[in-house]
Amino acid sequence: MDLIGFLFRWSHVLFGITWIGMLYYFNFIQGGYFKQASAEGLADAKAKLAPSALWWFRWGAMGTFITGLALLGKLAIGLNNYIIVGAIFGTIMFLNVWLIIWPNQKIALGMAEGDAPAAGAKALLASRHNVLYSAPMAFCMLASGHPDPSLGWNLYSSMSNSLIVMLVIIAALQANAMFGKQGPLTTVKGVIHASLGLTAVMVLVFNYV
C-alpha cells in the first residue's frame, strides 16, 4: 500500500467533511436561525459563534484544497473527465471561500469596515453556489475512482465535447455566483434541488454529448 498517498487521501476526506459540513451548517441551519433570532441572540451569535464557525470553514477548505492538489499530482497520468471536473468544482469552491465569502463575511459580521448588507448578500450568493457545486463535486470524487463500463461513462477521454460543455456550464454558473442573482438558490429546498439537478445534467452530458 502507498502509505503516503493513503494518508493524503484520508486527510483530504477529513478536511472535506469539515469544510462541506460547515458549508451546509451555514446554509441550512445558521441562516435560518439568524432570521428568527432575537436581537440579543443574533448579536451574540455574530460576535462569538459565526467567527469560530468561519475559522473551521475556511481552514477546512484550505486543507481540502492542499491535499487535493497533492492527490491530483499523483493522478496526472490517469486524468479523466470526472477527476478534471471535480477538481475544477473544488478549486472554484475554495476560491469562493477565500476571495468572496470570507472577506465579505468579515464586513457583514462587523469584523471589518464596509457596507454590511451588500457584503452579506455577496457572501450568501457565493455560499449558495458552493452548495450548488457540492453534490456534483462529490459525485465526481466517487465516480472517478469506480468506473463502470456498463454505464457507458466516457471517463477516460481527453478534451472531449462533453468536457467542453461542462466547462462552459461551470463558467456560466460561476459568473452568476460573482455578478448575478440567487434565483432558485434563494431557499434551502431550491439550492438542494438545483445541486442534484446539476449533478444529473453532468451525468447526462458525460453520457450523451
| CA-atom Rg of the chain in angstroms | 18
Give the pLDDT confidence score for residue 152 in this predicted structure.
40
Instruction: Report the distance separating Cα 24 and Cα 102, nearest Å.
Output: 16
| Per-residue pLDDT reduced to its tens digit, 171-200 | 999 999 999 988 999 999 999 999 999 999
Give the pLDDT confidence score for residue 77 in this predicted structure.
62
In eight-state DSSP terms, residue 146 is: S
Give the pLDDT confidence score for residue 156 in this predicted structure.
47
pTM over 0.85: yes
CB 74 within 8 A of CB 122: no
| Per-residue pLDDT reduced to its tens digit, 53-74 | 999 999 999 999 999 999 888 7
Three-state DSSP at 178 gives helix
Instruction: Report the distance separating Cα 60 and Cα 16, nearest Å.
Output: 7
CB atoms closer than 10 angstroms to residue 171? 12
CB 142 within 8 A of CB 203: no
Smallest CA-to-CA distance from 20 within 124, 123, 131 is with 131
Give the pLDDT confidence score for residue 4 in this predicted structure.
85
Give the pLDDT confidence score for residue 3 in this predicted structure.
87
Give the pLDDT confidence score for residue 80 in this predicted structure.
82
Residue-range domain boundaries for the chain? 3-208
CB 83 within 8 A of CB 146: no
Residues in the chain with pLDDT < 70?
A: 1, 75-78, 145-159
Smallest CA-to-CA distance from 30 within 22, 20, 19, 39 is with 22
Smallest CA-to-CA distance from 88 within 202, 208, 205 is with 202
